[in-house]
Chains A and B, each alone.
Chain A
Amino acid sequence: DAGVIQSPRHEVTEMGQEVTLRCKPISGHDYLFWYRQTMMRGLELLIYFNNNVPIDDSGMPEDRFSAKMPNASFSTLKIQPSEPRDSAVYFCASSPDRGRETQYFGPGTRLLVL
């Protein structure tokens, strides 16, 4: 298996622009997680899905952030409009049954908002 795939790997954009991050989870995994990693706040859970349904979005910073999972093999995290404080590494992870078990992380998307 190719593991969790994320794209793009790097994104540089200007403040106010829309940013879309993409994730393909490992086939057969029922859970998908979006995390944000910064030096100041560490690894933060933004939202997670179970069987394509959003379960907990309490970590989403504000309305500028949205996430979708239209099918079992694809998810997006969108930031509109982006701000410099959104600069971080965004990870997608997937997990088989019971999301609290082993999570398999993708390589991350490094986002820089100028």
Chain B
Amino acid sequence: QQQVKQSPQSLIVQKGGISIINCAYENTAFDYFPWYQQFPGKGPALLIAIRPDVSEKKEGRFTISFNKSAKQFSLHIMDSQPGDSATYFCAAGGFQKLVFGTGTRLLVSP
């Protein structure tokens, strides 16, 4: 019940395209859903987050879509750029801690 399943494991998108990463959770007690971005040799850093009282949150080119009934949420990166090439982790927040997905390695080709 504590797992967060993330897909795909890796993704290649052309510059200007849309990148979509999906996550699913089981524990309905989760009430905070962040996405972290990690560049090689660096620690993960918060990118965007959503709470279950809204179905979508947008910050610039990054959008989280949240489906509470399906217990799924996704990250959309519009107009993907080579600088977006990184590993992305979804997470779900329960009591005092986050449970992370396994990560998606995104490569945006020029």
Contacts and interface: CB of A to CB of B under 8 A. Distances in A.
B32 to A, nearest CB: 6
B97 A43 contact: no
Interface residues of B, number: 21
Interface residues of A, number: 24
A50 interface: yes
Given A33-B97, A55-B96, A56-B97, A100 B32 contact: yes
Interface residues of A, dominant DSSP: strand
A31 B100 CA distance: 17
A45 B97 contact: yes
Interface in A25-59: 31, 33, 41-43, 45, 48, 50, 55-56
Given A42-B103, A43-B89, A105 B96 contact: no
Interface of B: 32, 34, 41-46, 49, 89, 93-103
Given A102-B49, A107-B42, A108-B42, 14 more contacts: A33-B97, A48-B97, A50-B96, A55-B96, A56-B96, A91-B44, A100-B97, A100-B98, A103-B46, A104-B45, A105-B43, A105-B45, A107-B41, A107-B43
Which 5 pairs of residues, A with B, have the shortest CB-CB distance? A105-B43, A100-B93, A42-B102, A99-B96, A43-B100
